């Protein structure tokens, strides 16, 4: 084994035995997204590195420490660490602002961050996300709708016990006032902060609020934060979002230290956590980003809000007993000898073309072991083909549930058999 090539750290194979749960999640997400009027968009897995630097911020951990940049002759590109920046890039490039007043996109796909891998934290992971983008489209009801959409997807996936935290960063000016306030309150305690946070104090003070170091967490807890750094208008907006959430009967907590790790946010931000996840407990997060389109060269008035849910984390929080949605295989063809194989092969091929799922083993195996395999695969029937069947133009179909057998004629280019399965 020592010289065998293994999977890169922080990535995972999604095995056939696990795929049914992924399908359930994707199916439910698509269903709910489309109920809310969102349409799917697919953007490339890599983009110009400056797209991420400009949107997420050069001081964000995602850009500073985790961006997976391509090297050599592919320099200048990076694997996408998230979906929002790419979607705004596509929105601008495809002139959506000229076509519709509000564009509602959703996406499901792999994202890449060069993080230190641990449970629930991968280097390649998957997100389900939504973004609503449009000229002067800010509205507290849209913010509430976006949060409701995220919660409804979790609900549809059977995930219980999630906690929603919300906060408001206000306008860029309010955000600046917030960072001043933070610096003022932290100034006397900087020596107690971890080394990273001492640097963050000047470069990006908000990051201190997310620091996981015990000492920094203690200091953050002692801060006296409210929403007073927000302008009157921003406060009003935030109150209206909260009222709309109450109308929708969505429970939430206002968390004054919730600032999010990416630079593009303004006004409403939110995070959904779930205790079932352990230390990496964020199931998903999002918020409003009213300046991003303009910062990336789009129209000044394009405003937006969105979220992304981590699929691996959702799967960890989903009930394990979720019923399989993959259909059981309808039939397994068992040829009793090599001479019976060509007929079996023709039968299984014809049935598949007619939309009947079937399989056949080509290796030499006893009837008993082939029956055992059919049982393991959850096959509904087996088709037995021996010398008598072949010579007399019929096959024996055995029902796995009760062991009953029937002789089914093989005539008219297998039509009789196809009809038998279709009835
Ligand atoms: P984010 O908070 O960076 O936001 O990621 C959203 C979710 O993706 C996290 O809550 C988590 O469930 C999952 N996630 C992030 N990193 C990892 C990882 N290394 N391993 C496993 N899961 C992970 C965003 O990405 C924003 N684009 C959300 C957004 C959309 N804001 C506005 N629109």
Reported as a single tens digit per residue, the pLDDT across 35-50 is: 999 999 999 999 999 9
The model's pLDDT over 252-294, given as tens digits with 9 standing for 90+, comes to: 999 999 999 889 999 999 999 999 998 889 999 999 999 999 9
Q: Give the mutation target among 52, 82, 124, 206 for probing the ligand 1 site: most ligand atoms within 8 A of CB.
A: 82
Ligand 1 centroid to 274 CA: how many Å? 14
Look at ligand 1, atom 25, and give the residue with the nearest C-alpha. 82
Look at ligand 1, atom 9, and give the residue with the nearest C-alpha. 284
Ligand 1 centroid to 94 CA: how many Å? 25
As a whole number of angstroms, the distance between CA 8 and CA 16 comes to 19
The model's pLDDT over 142-168, given as tens digits with 9 standing for 90+, comes to: 999 999 999 999 999 999 999 999 999
As a whole number of angstroms, the distance between CA 115 and CA 79 comes to 13
pLDDT of residue 365: 86
Closest ligand 1 atom to Cα of 309: 7
pLDDT of residue 127: 98
Look at ligand 1, atom 21, and give the residue with the nearest C-alpha. 121
Closest ligand 1 atom to Cα of 286: 31
Q: How many CA atoms lie within 13 A of 294 on its CB side?
A: 11
The model's pLDDT over 58-92, given as tens digits with 9 standing for 90+, comes to: 888 899 889 999 987 777 999 999 999 999 999 99
Look at ligand 1, atom 13, and give the residue with the nearest C-alpha. 310
For the chain, domains (ranges, CATH) are 19-161+254-317 (3.30.930.10), 331-422 (3.40.50.800)
Closest ligand 1 atom to Cα of 62: 3
Closest ligand 1 atom to Cα of 313: 12
CB 283 within 8 A of CB 154: yes
Residue 1 — very low, low, confident or very high, per pLDDT cuts 50/70/90?
A: low
- CB under 6 Å to ligand 1: residues? 82-84, 113, 115, 120-122, 125, 127, 129, 131, 282-287, 306-308, 310, 312-313
Q: How many CA atoms lie within 13 A of 282 on its CB side?
A: 15
Look at ligand 1, atom 30, and give the residue with the nearest C-alpha. 307
CA of 106: how far to CAs of 30, 32, 260, in Å? 8, 11, 21
CB 130 within 8 A of CB 32: no
Closest ligand 1 atom to Cα of 81: 25
- Burial of 75 per CB tally in 10 Å (0-12, 13-18, 19+): exposed
As a whole number of angstroms, the distance between CA 25 and CA 108 comes to 10
CB 124 within 8 A of CB 112: yes
Look at ligand 1, atom 15, and give the residue with the nearest C-alpha. 310
Ligand 1 centroid to 324 CA: how many Å? 27
Closest ligand 1 atom to Cα of 283: 12
Q: How many residues does the chain have?
A: 423
Q: What is the pTM of this model?
A: 0.89
Closest ligand 1 atom to Cα of 115: 19
pLDDT of residue 376: 87
Closest by Cα among 65, 62, 68 to 45: 68
**Helix crossing, 49-56 with 84-93: angle to 10°?**
110
């Amino acid at each position: 084994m020592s010289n065998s090539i293994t999977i890169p750290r922080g990535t995972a194979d999604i095995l056939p035995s696990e795929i049914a749960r992924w399908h359930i999640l994707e199916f439910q997400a698509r269903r709910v997204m489309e109920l809310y009027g969102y349409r799917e968009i697919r953007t490339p897995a890599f983009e110009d590195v400056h797209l991420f630097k400009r949107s997420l911020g050069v001081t964000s951990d995602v850009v500073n420490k985790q961006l997976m940049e391509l090297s050599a002759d592919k320099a200048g590109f990076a694997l996408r660490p998230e979906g929002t920046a790419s979607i705004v890039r596509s929105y601008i490039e495809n002139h959506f602002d000229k076509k519709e007043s509000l564009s509602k996109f959703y996406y499901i796909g792999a994202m890449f961050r060069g993080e230190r891998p641990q449970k629930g934290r991968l280097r390649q992971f998957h997100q389900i996300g939504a973004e609503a983008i449009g000229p002067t489209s800010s509205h507290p009801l849209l913010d509430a709708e976006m949060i409701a959409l995220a919660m409804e997807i979790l609900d549809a996936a059977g995930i219980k016990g999630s906690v929603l935290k919300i906060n408001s960063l206000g306008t860029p000016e309010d955000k600046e006032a917030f960072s001043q306030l933070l610096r003022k309150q932290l100034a006397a305690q900087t020596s107690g902060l971890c080394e990273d946070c001492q640097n963050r104090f000047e470069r990006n003070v908000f990051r201190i609020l997310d620091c996981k170091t015990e000492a920094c967490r203690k200091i953050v807890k002692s801060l006296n934060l409210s929403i007073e750094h927000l302008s009157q208008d921003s406060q009003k907006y935030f109150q209206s979002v909260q009222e709309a959430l109450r109308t929708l009967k969505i429970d939430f907590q206002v968390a004054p230290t919730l600032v999010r790790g990416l630079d593009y946010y303004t006004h409403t931000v939110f995070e959904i956590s779930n205790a079932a996840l352990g230390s990496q407990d964020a199931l998903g997060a999002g918020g409003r980003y009213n300046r991003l389109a303009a910062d990336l060269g789009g129209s000044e008035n394009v405003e937006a809000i969105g979220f992304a849910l981590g699929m691996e984390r959702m799967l960890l929080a989903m009930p394990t007993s979720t019923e399989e949605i993959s259909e059981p295989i309808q039939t397994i063809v068992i040829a009793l000898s090599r001479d019976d194989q060509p007929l079996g092969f023709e039968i299984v091929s014809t049935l598949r073309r007619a939309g009947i799922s079937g399989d056949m083993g080509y290796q030499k195996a006893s009837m008993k072991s082939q029956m055992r395999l059919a049982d393991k695969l959850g096959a509904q029937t087996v088709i037995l083909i021996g010398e008598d069947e072949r010579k007399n133009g019929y096959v024996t179909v055995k029902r796995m549930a009760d062991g009953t057998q029937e002789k089914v004629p093989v005539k008219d280019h297998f039509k009789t058999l196809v009809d038998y399965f279709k009835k």
